[in-house]
Amino acid sequence: MFETLHRLYNEGRLSKEGVANAVSKGWISPDQYYEITGEPYSA
């Protein structure tokens, strides 16, 4: 899941809000959110 979300974010097809939603659903960790967006996750 991480690789897919990372690719979509880099392509501009997924927003930071979409990545945050993936964290809230347990699909990725807050650390992975940081890896994707470069910003710390805040709930």
Closest to 5 measured CA to CA, from 25, 40, 42: 25
User: How far is it, in rounded angstroms, from Cα 32 to Cα 35?
Assistant: 5
Q: How confident is the model at residue 35 (pLDDT cuts 50, 70, 90)?
A: very high
Q: For 1-38, give one letter per residue: b (16+ CB within 10 A) or e.
A: eeeebbeebeeeebeeeebbebbeeeebeeebbeebbe
Cβ atoms of 19 and 37 within 8 Å: the answer is yes
pLDDT at residue 43 in the model: 82
Q: How confident is the model at residue 6 (pLDDT cuts 50, 70, 90)?
A: very high
pLDDT at residue 32 in the model: 98
